[in-house]
Structure 1
Amino acid sequence: MAQTQAFETDFWKDASLRKVWDDIVPGEPRKTIPYTLAKEAIELYCKSVGETHPIYFDEAYAKTTRYGGLIAPPSIHILLMFSCTPADDWMRSPGTVNAGQSWSYNVPARPNDVITLQARALDKFIKRERLFVVHDNVFFNQKGDVICSGRGWTIRPL
């Protein structure tokens, strides 16, 4: 297996660079970076979450399916969220709590796709002394096809 890009696992490392509640502006696009999805990253992700379906690993099998080749599992957007955002992205703030999300899946991501993300905060509000942000995320492949899109709600750290 080829070497895949390592992800920073210390969420506190760049915490001082991230926007705090007062800096988050609804409607303002978040900074994102393109990411090339390697076959090895898909395999490592699948192994990490216990996904064993051959459509993600076995090229010969995958060619016999309606997809005509290897694909990534729909939940790969979890890996893509971190791959397509820089270390100073406010969504990476330690203490952030996922308060809910809804995703739609359009076309599967594939090995060697160049993935881009369009993301922004849609709204922010305070409820029961908690800071909420509503945000949306849309992942595209290099052809401009939407891989998946989602809306989420997070509780921000104080």
Structure 2
Amino acid sequence: MSESAQQGPPPAARGAGRDRDEQGRARNARPRDGLGRPLPYGAAGVTRQAEGVIRSPQETLAEAQRLLDAGRPFHAHEVFEDRWKSAPEPERELWRGLAQYAVGLTHAARGNTAGATALLARSAAALAAFAPDPPYGIDAAGLARWAADRAGAPGEVSPPAPPRLRG
């Protein structure tokens, strides 16, 4: 076992109960697997998305699609979450719906049918609102329809493959 695995959380987290950044905000420093599940301190995990990265809508969609294509929906959710937090108010529900979509895919990949169903249903409702005039080439109608179909058929949350973010 590595020395860091024996020691537990990094010094910044000891006594505080949670990992914190320099500003005192909660940040989980534990390594994670490809589906975002926390691993023990000292374990080898996958490279995580940096938090708080400001990307353009096009950069957000490209990076999230790359992560979805690589089977890393949890990490795509983090990219969408950064955009959701930094987007102008009229777009926040769009990015939140896309983040929920990615979390729904994460739950499905982890075998959590109840979580997948709930998040995909929320995502479908949020994305459907943007279907009449979808920004940035996002296939809001297709994503909403797919998410609603999967949420309505809990035993079939994973198949078929989800549609691409842009039509």
Q: Would you call these one fold, judging by a TM-score over 0.5?
A: no
Is the strand fraction higher in 1 or 2? 1
TM-score norm. by structure 2 comes to: 0.22
TM-score norm. by structure 1 comes to: 0.23
Is the helix fraction higher in 1 or 2? 2
Higher relative contact order (CA 8 A, sep 6+): 1
